[in-house]
Amino acid sequence: MPRRPFRLFSVLLLALALLGASCGNDDDVAEVPATEAPAPEPAPTEAAPKPPQRIVSLSPTATEILFAIGAGDQVVAVDQFSYYPPEAPVTDLSGWDPNVEAVLSYEPDLVVISNDANDLMAGMEAVGIEVLLSSAPADFEGGYAAVADIGMAVGRADEAAALVADLRAEIADALGAAPNAPVRVYHELGDALYSASSSSFIGAVYAAMGAVNIADEADTDGYGYPQLTEEYIVEADPELIVITDQVGYTVDDVAARPGWGEVSAVRNGNIVVVNADIASRWGPRLPQFIKAVAEALEAVAESVS
């Protein structure tokens, strides 16, 4: 048999074997990993609003609170009656008759007011200035809420919460030391004979001590500050009369009023003078007013017992 065909046949078999080895089995083919989809980027978080750095306070009460919660460095101007604490930047700005242009001259980013006189809120908001209306509270809880609101507005929520906790404790102690006696009380705000009923925070202090506020019956609309008459006061016969140190007259002047000689408070010498600022501002110094009233009520309770 010729050798060439055999040799060609052998070469052909070898080529086929090599081709099969190079192709291999599907199971032997390395798997190419799938390309992973990129992880989604996290949604951008909204930055917390920056606390105001140029506060103008047109409320003496708010001014005291701002400084008590550590926001004094953020206050650039206060009204003419915000003279406490001493470091407050007092100006000739008025809270009762405010001027938009005068307030704007201090370039505020927040204005705190106790009432919206002269449409101040609209004037500020028209130029993009935030305004916080912090009205006088009618009771203790309203006062605590006012402190919290101011703290939130100026980025001092924790400090405001701490102040509220301290006030609650101090006020509870002061009320606990009061005699809780049904003494008839007349709180005089001035010679026009306006008084503070139990619908005001001043009256809430007397009510918490169990006193009988003679102004309550006259406050038919619950305004909190009714105007009384001399006849009404004399007939109500208060056992304690409270005036402030800013009324422009003295205890002797009250006692000398015609027809007041038979009023129990006058007859027994129970007319007391309290600090006007402490008595009229719901804020960090309120416990001092409560203590002063508690002492006066205790003296009266002892004298009539």
DSSP 8-state secondary structure symbol assigned to residue 34: P
pLDDT band at 240 (very low <50, low <70, confident <90, very high): very high
pLDDT band at 234 (very low <50, low <70, confident <90, very high): very high
Class level of CATH domain 179-304: alpha beta
Half-sphere exposure of residue 230, counting CA atoms within 13 Å on the CB side?
11
Q: Please tell me the predicted confidence (pLDDT) of residue 115.
A: 92
Sheet containing 130-133, strands listed edge to edge, beginning at the edge strand earlier in sequence: 75-78, 55-57, 110-113, 130-133
Of 14-23, 49-58, 155-164, the range with the lowest mean pLDDT is: 14-23
Q: Please tell me the predicted confidence (pLDDT) of residue 89.
A: 98
Of 34-38, 114-118, 253-257, the range with the lowest mean pLDDT is: 34-38
Class level of CATH domain 55-173: alpha beta
Q: Which helix (H) or strand (E) holds 13?
A: helix 3-23
Half-sphere exposure of residue 262, counting CA atoms within 13 Å on the CB side?
6
- Residue 16 tokens read as 């086929």
Q: Please tell me the predicted confidence (pLDDT) of residue 49.
A: 77
Q: Please tell me the predicted confidence (pLDDT) of residue 304.
A: 65
SS3 call for 110: strand
- Residue 46 tokens read as 């909204």
Residue type, 87: E
pLDDT band at 95 (very low <50, low <70, confident <90, very high): very high
Given a cut of 50, whether residue 9 has pLDDT beyond it is no
pLDDT band at 48 (very low <50, low <70, confident <90, very high): low
Of 20-29, 89-98, 137-146, 251-260, the range with the lowest mean pLDDT is: 20-29
In terms of DSSP bridges, do strands 110-113 and 184-187 run parallel, antiparallel, or are they unpaired?
unpaired
Residue type, 119: D
Given a cut of 70, whether residue 18 has pLDDT beyond it is no
Contact by Cβ (8 Å): 95, 58: yes
Task: For residues 76 and 161, give the distance between their C-alpha atoms in angstroms, rounded to a whole number.
Answer: 24
Mean pLDDT of 36-46: 62
SS3 call for 40: coil
Mean pLDDT of 171-199: 93
Task: For residues 25 and 21, give the distance between their C-alpha atoms in angstroms, rounded to a whole number.
Answer: 9
Q: Which helix (H) or strand (E) holds 156?
A: none
Domain boundaries along the sequence of the chain: 55-173, 179-304
Percent share of the chain, pLDDT over 70: 84
Task: For residues 272 and 277, give the distance between their C-alpha atoms in angstroms, rounded to a whole number.
Answer: 15
Same fold, 55-173 and 179-304: yes
pTM of the model: 0.80
Task: For residues 61 and 135, give the distance between their C-alpha atoms in angstroms, rounded to a whole number.
Answer: 9
